């Protein structure tokens, strides 16, 4: 049964890839807005803490987040509803959206960083003032459920946003180094995993797997797979034509990863991209009672190998301690053989 299912998926992927040119010709896609890069963050700038998704139930994470941003050299502004709660959300939809709009509108605020992820980001997207955001381009960062916000803002305004640590993340040396280089120093980075052997004969972490070799260029879009697919068909989905798609996830059974990738396949997304970079799929396992499940390796092979575009796996982003900062909407070059992702220009001005 599992073999038949794999053959069906692989056949569907191959067939979809074969008809991709016709699909592109027949489908009217939203125009990609002109790319707008935000001003770089500098020491002394004010960064607003926002919470577009889930509530935090203790005080200490807010204190740690503030101290973290201060250690980076920033002044910190708490958005008015940062500590609000409505069910498991960080306030009502209106409160959370209001904070995003207000912090973009405030000329004393130079950037916005999400406190945490969780869920609920999708709910505020229709309430955001994209014209206001377009008039006031600023740094906007976060990951996980913040995938909804950073992709919607880019899709609607052209603003380069950032798949970065959230304020509640572990800001270790690796994550800080890449955040500073991308957001503060305006470096045209080449992102490459370090190969740490520790005491082992060969590296066991940070390993790159090339599913299909080659080099591709295009604007970077993506983030958390579950959140991205939940936006399917909406005006907040980013343009995928010619893009480099990056994906990660956490705590999803493998069959759910399979289902979400099938959404991207039958929706025509995978056939449009120029390349794919896969990050960490943390604790994405078979689950109890899933007899005969495909492995994650097999699922990725089924969906990505028939696309005939470069694909590699293992880049350091996602629900892991050490994280790259990835600019959504920036033109980049990926090398699937070397396992590198290079900014074609600085992500900030």
- What residues are labeled active site? 144, 248, 319
DSSP summary character for residue 83 = T
In the chain, % helix, strand, coil (3-state, to 5) comes to: 35, 20, 45
Q: Which two three-digit tokens encode residue 278?
A: 């896969």
Distinct helix (H) and strand (E) counts, the chain? 11, 14
Half-sphere exposure of 35 (CA within 13 A, CB side): 19
With b for 16 or more beta-carbon neighbours within 10 A and e for fewer, the 283-317 pattern comes to ebeeeeeeeebbebebbbbbbbbbbebbbbbbbbb
Tell me the three state secondary structure of residue 54: strand
For 202, what's the count of Cα atoms within 13 Å in the CB-facing half-sphere? 2
Token pair belonging to 349: 């001005």
> Rounded distance, CA 88 to CA 57, Å?
9
> Do the Cβ atoms of 333 and 215 come closer than 8 Å?
yes
């Amino acid at each position: 049964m599992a073999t038949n299912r794999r053959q069906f998926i692989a056949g569907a992927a191959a067939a979809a890839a074969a008809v991709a040119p016709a699909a592109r010709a027949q489908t009217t896609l939203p125009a990609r807005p002109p790319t707008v890069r935000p001003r770089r963050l500098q020491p002394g700038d004010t960064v607003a803490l926002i919470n577009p998704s889930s509530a935090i139930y203790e005080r200490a994470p807010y204190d740690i987040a503030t101290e973290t941003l201060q250690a980076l050299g920033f002044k910190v502004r708490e958005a008015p509803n940062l500590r609000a709660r409505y069910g498991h959300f960080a306030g009502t939809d209106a409160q959370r959206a209001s904070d995003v709009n207000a912090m973009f509108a405030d000329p004393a605020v130079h950037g916005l960083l999400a406190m945490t992820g969780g869920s609920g980001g999708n709910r505020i997207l229709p309430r955001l003032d994209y014209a206001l955001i377009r008039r006031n381009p600023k740094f906007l960062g976060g990951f996980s459920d913040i995938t909804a916000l950073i992709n919607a803002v880019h899709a609607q305004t052209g603003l380069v946003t950032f798949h970065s640590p959230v304020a509640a993340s572990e800001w270790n040396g690796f994550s800080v180094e890449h955040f500073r280089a991308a957001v503060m120093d305006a470096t045209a980075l080449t992102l490459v995993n370090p190969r740490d052997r520790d005491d082992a004969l060969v590296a066991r972490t940070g390993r790159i797997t090339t599913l299909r070799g080659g080099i591709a260029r295009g604007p970077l879009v993506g983030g958390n797979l579950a959140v991205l697919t939940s936006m399917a068909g909406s005006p907040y989905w980013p343009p995928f034509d010619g893009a480099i798609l990056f994906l990660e996830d956490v705590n999803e059974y493998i069959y759910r990863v399979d289902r979400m990738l099938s959404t991207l396949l039958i929706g025509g997304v995978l056939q449009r991209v120029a390349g794919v970079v896969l990050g960490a799929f943390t604790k994405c396992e078979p689950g109890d009672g899933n007899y005969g499940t495909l492995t994650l390796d097999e699922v990725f092979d089924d969906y990505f190998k028939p696309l005939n575009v470069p694909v590699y796996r293992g880049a350091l982003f996602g629900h892991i301690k050490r994280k790259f900062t990835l600019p959504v909407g920036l033109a980049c070059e990926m090398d699937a053989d070397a396992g590198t992702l290079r900014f074609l220009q600085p992500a900030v001005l």
